Amino acid sequence: MRCEVLAVGTELLLGQVVDTNSAWIGEQLAAAGVDCLLQVKVGDNLGRIVRALRDALARADAVVCCGGLGPTPDDITREAIAEVMGVGLETRPELVEVIRGIYAARARSMPESNLRQAQVPAGAEVIPQTRGTAPGLVCPLGDRVIYAVPGVPHEMREMVTRAVLPHLAARAGQRATIRSRTLRTWGIGESALAELVAPRLAALEPAGNPTIAFLASGIEGIKVRITARGAGPDPEYAADALLAAEEAEVRGLLGEAVFGVDDQTMEAAVGVLLAGSERTLAVAESLTGGLIGARLTAVAGASGWFRGGLVSYASDLKRDLLGVVEGPVVSAEAATAMAEGAARLLAADVGLAVTGVAGPTEQDGQPVGTVFVGLAGLGPTSSRRLQLAGGRETIRQLTVVHAGDLLRRALLHAAGSGAGGGGGGGAG
Amino acid sequence: MRCEVLAVGTELLLGQVVDTNSAWIGEQLAAAGVDCLLQVKVGDNLGRIVRALRDALARADAVVCCGGLGPTPDDITREAIAEVMGVGLETRPELVEVIRGIYAARARSMPESNLRQAQVPAGAEVIPQTRGTAPGLVCPLGDRVIYAVPGVPHEMREMVTRAVLPHLAARAGQRATIRSRTLRTWGIGESALAELVAPRLAALEPAGNPTIAFLASGIEGIKVRITARGAGPDPEYAADALLAAEEAEVRGLLGEAVFGVDDQTMEAAVGVLLAGSERTLAVAESLTGGLIGARLTAVAGASGWFRGGLVSYASDLKRDLLGVVEGPVVSAEAATAMAEGAARLLAADVGLAVTGVAGPTEQDGQPVGTVFVGLAGLGPTSSRRLQLAGGRETIRQLTVVHAGDLLRRALLHAAGSGAGGGGGGGAG
């Protein structure tokens, strides 16, 4: 069973709106065990929509066509489907009543143009609208089918879930599901990661289920995605069992490099470890200007373990408030003094500090991309020198994740819990 | 001149990653006057990428192919293009050296698989990589061309801007151009904005050049985009002249609500005003956790006017370090004390502070979304109460822009320059 997605709308091609509908539909199709091998965006042009539909039907059993069902003159998906079916449009009186009723319920007068939405290609079945004014369509073409759904995301999602997916499943006559889980890693390059996981790739090759793929996500590290297909009486259970077993295998190969699963961020992982060990954290930031604190406090419950931070952007503040001695502020000495100073000034168990050169020009004789991370309160105070590549914002963002990862690994290895140095909670 | 976009990656079809690259490329093509009539997503499958490329070349003069240039076995865009061109892949020794050099500069050992990125279809021209390890490609096919660029957004954007768009423009012979300029506004709702600009919409209607459109951009305010078409011997000059004249008209109607142009952020606008009046700034943040400092220091040259910040997430820090008196920390009194305390502690001319309830639960008897902004050093110390809607992260982000706008307007109205309270510069 193959199903393509056709997203209709000139605004999508012009980049005025990012097409998130196709991605969502693709995810649902995968979960339903339907192959989606191509997704296309086309503008509001009759000839090109017709051609795109014909091309899709030549490759796939079904097409989900999204958008172009509204009341304005540029909404021409109905006309395009009718042309592909070789039929005319007919006005369905029951749809006219429904659309008039929607406007009456909203106590608004209805422009007559809205009744275009009551027109349906002859032979098509209507998917009743429950949210917007446009109905969806199920349009049979021999042994193939076009589903038309609105482009407004919440209308589309409701209609796909309620009508399109069950219709597709019934056509496919099978119950299978595809599920995936993503292990998020930091500290190993993409090709080295691939070499580490190579034994699993080889072991999985013959059966082809589950499969493993790598996604480089820039400053968010590299993701290892495990995808499993489940069948049988309980396909979800079967897929989840495969995922769990493979996750254990991959974690065995990658160890501490795995910091999170699916949407779990580095800062969320750090938060879990701090909360679990009852330690509080303070940060001292320079080149990142507050980014570390901003990301840590995006984690719900951060007030339980995050005390606060000092953004010591001006060099004299590092000396006056954090106890950094005279000398270069981009140095290991400055980073360790800042980490200790932050823990002291903000009364936290653990102090994390970053100082470095984000660019555009060098500083203290250090080239752009030189960053020192200091860590205090987890064993002896220590520092790490990083040499990062990229522009100013990339260096800042990479610094945040590197610093978070150093803290995470130190917390993993630290015994016991915090000294209780932190004061009361409560973030205003 | 027609150009299609082909985004390569199974993760795009499965909805694990939303394809924002195609939208961005579509926007750039439109701005360059190149028609983009179709955009396609295809998975990491050699046969299907080859077919998609051939189909695209049958319809368009050029294809921008995005993704699949990395070092892992599922990166097969190079192979697919070579097959479409009917040539083999050849290893370019100079690319091998560049890739080895990138790893050497990062002091990391290079897995041999990375050298796949030095392979190029015979006859293709290389677009040098400046950010990642994968070079781009310009692949001629008779009178058509395929451009291959990486899928990592910032690498892709840099390469399209630097190499692909100029190459396309040269091929097109540059006869006409479409250019646009966006005025960014804050503080006026979309319908009120439309009413204010209505006289210009009416005046422009007959000629249809330039045109004006409104884009609601959520937490970044509402954008007023002016688009002009230029022709004649110097189409860029003609378009720019139309844009400049219309910008003056629209600014006359919107006044101070316009805070920036195109990519100019609120924090960049604030930086210009601070630098121009020789004032320095310090911030005290609570619910935003460092976001204000992070955004201010994203502005190049921020070290000239930004002293630093205190993230007083724990309530006791507001009292101990900023001089907030006992009582509710989500209050006008706390905000003004924090603003004065930040300016004092961090030795700045101006102090900006925010305290509020980001959620998920109320605090100090104040509902979620209550935020107080304090401002000190520009006339009498003042505060403003905001009631913001949305989830935790939306409230945090809205707070940043609201606080920036309050500071911006206060700077616009403040006479003279700073008292010189700030110390030396130099951000580590």
| Residues within 8 A of A (CB atoms), B 174-213 only | none
Question: What local confidence, expressed as pLDDT, does residue B425 receive?
Answer: 41
Predicted pLDDT of residue A423 = 41
Question: How many domains does one find in chain B?
Answer: 3
Say yes or no: B291 and B379 in one domain: yes
Cross-chain Cβ contact B314/A321 below 8 Å: no
Is residue A6 within a helix (H) or strand (E), and if so which, with residue range?
strand A3-8
Domain boundary among A229, A261, A293: A261
Asked if residue A179 belongs to a domain, the reply is no
Listed by number, the residues of chain B in 363-382 with a beta carbon closer than 8 Å to a beta carbon of chain A are 363-364
Q: Compute the nearest-CA separation of A52 from chain B (Å).
A: 9
Cβ–Cβ under 8 Å, residues A89 and A121 = yes
**Contact B13/A36, CB-based, under 8 Å?**
yes
**Interchain CB distance below 8 Å, A286 and B427:** yes
CATH number, domain with residue A406: 3.90.950.20
What per-residue string of b and e applies to B353-375 under the rule 16 or more CB within 10 Å gives b?
bbbbbbbeeebbebebbbbbbbb
Q: Is residue A121 part of a domain?
A: yes
Q: Residue B130's pLDDT is what?
A: 87
The answer on B67 and B25 residing in a single domain is yes
Do A79 and A45 belong together in one domain?
Answer: yes
Could you tell me the pLDDT band of residue A422, with boundaries at 50, 70 and 90? Answer: very low
Rounded to whole angstroms, the Cα distance separating B372 from B354 reads 6
Range of the domain at A237: 186-261
Nearest-CA neighbor of A250 among A226, A283, A284? Answer: A226
Residue B423 banded pLDDT, cuts 50, 70, 90 = very low
Answer whether B315 sits within 8 Å of A425, measured CB to CB. Answer: yes
pLDDT for res A377? 97
Q: Which of A277-281, B188-192, B222-226 has the lowest mean pLDDT?
A: B188-192
Residue A288: inside a domain, yes or no? yes
Of B323, B405, B389, residue with least CA distance to B357: B389
Q: Are B10 and A227 in contact (CB under 8 A)?
A: no
A201 and A141 in a common domain: no
Write the DSSP string, B251-295. HHHHGGGEEEETT--HHHHHHHHHHHTT--EEEEESTTTTHHHHH
Give per-residue pLDDT as tens, B258-316: 999 988 999 999 999 999 999 999 999 999 999 999 999 999 899 999 999 999 999 99
Give the whole-angstrom CA distance, residue A234 versus residue B418.
70
Residues 130-149 of B with CB under 8 A from A: 131
pLDDT of residue A225: 86
Q: Using DSSP, state whether A280 is helix, strand or coil.
A: coil
Of the three residues A149, A172, A195, the one that is the final residue of a domain is: A172
B chain contacts of residue A392, beta-carbon cutoff 8 Å? 298, 300
Q: What is the pLDDT of residues A193-211, one digit of tens each?
A: 989 999 999 999 888 889 8
Output the pLDDT for position A217.
66
pLDDT at site A235: 81
| ipTM for the whole complex | 0.73
Are A236 and A313 contained in the same domain? no
- Whether A212 and A120 map to the same domain: the answer is no
Looking at the fold, whether B153 and B15 belong to one and the same domain comes out as yes
B83-B85-B89-B94 Cα dihedral, nearest 10 degrees: -150
Distance from CA of B427 to the nearest CA of A (A): 5
Q: How far apart are CA A287 and CA B380, in angstroms?
A: 32
User: Residue A27 is nearest to which of B14, B154, B345, comparing CB atoms?
Assistant: B14
A180 belongs to a structural domain: no
Taking only residues 68 to 97 of chain B, the set having a beta carbon closer than 8 angstroms to any beta carbon of chain A reads: 70-74
Nearest residue on chain B to A212, judged by CA atoms? B74
pLDDT at B172: 74
Question: Is A418 within a domain?
Answer: no
Average predicted confidence (pLDDT) for chain B? 91
Instruction: Give the Cα separation of B352 and B321 in Å (integer).
Output: 15
**Domain presence at residue B400:** yes
CATH code of the domain covering residue B188: 3.30.70.2860
Q: Clarify whether residues A205 and A136 are in a common domain.
A: no
Q: Is residue B424 part of a domain?
A: no
Of A236, A261, A286, the position where a domain reaches its end is A261
* B72 and B129 part of one domain: yes
To the nearest whole number, what is the mean pLDDT of chain A? Answer: 91
pLDDT at B302: 95
Task: Tell me the angle at which helices B266-276 and B392-413 cross, rounded to the nearest 10 degrees.
Answer: 30
The pLDDT score that the predictor gives to residue A59 is: 95
Chain A residues with beta carbon closer than 8 angstroms to that of B66: none
Spatial separation of the C-alpha atoms in residues A291 and A297, rounded to whole Å? 10
Task: Kindly state whether residues A241 and A149 are assigned to the same domain.
Answer: no
Q: Are residues B33 and B134 both part of a single domain?
A: yes
What would the two tokens of residue A13 be? 């091609």
For residues B349 and B347, what is the distance between their CA atoms, to the nearest angstrom?
7
B306-311 and B281-285 strand pairing: parallel
| Domain CATH for A120 | 3.40.980.10
pTM of the full structure: 0.74
A8-17, A204-213, B64-73: range with highest mean pLDDT: B64-73
Q: What type of residue is B281?
A: L
Cβ of B355 under 8 Å from any chain A Cβ?
A: yes
Selected residue of B6, B12, B16, B299 to mutate for chain A interface (largest A Cβ count, 10 A): B16
Residues in A touching B69 (Cβ below 8 Å): none
CB < 8 Å to A298, chain B: 289, 392-393, 396
CA angle B212, B216, B218 (to 5 degrees): 155
Residue range B2-27: mean pLDDT, rounded: 93
Confirm whether A424 is domain-assigned.
no
Q: Which of A192, A315, A428 sits opposite B424 (nearest CB)?
A: A315
Indicate whether B11 and B134 sit together in one domain. yes
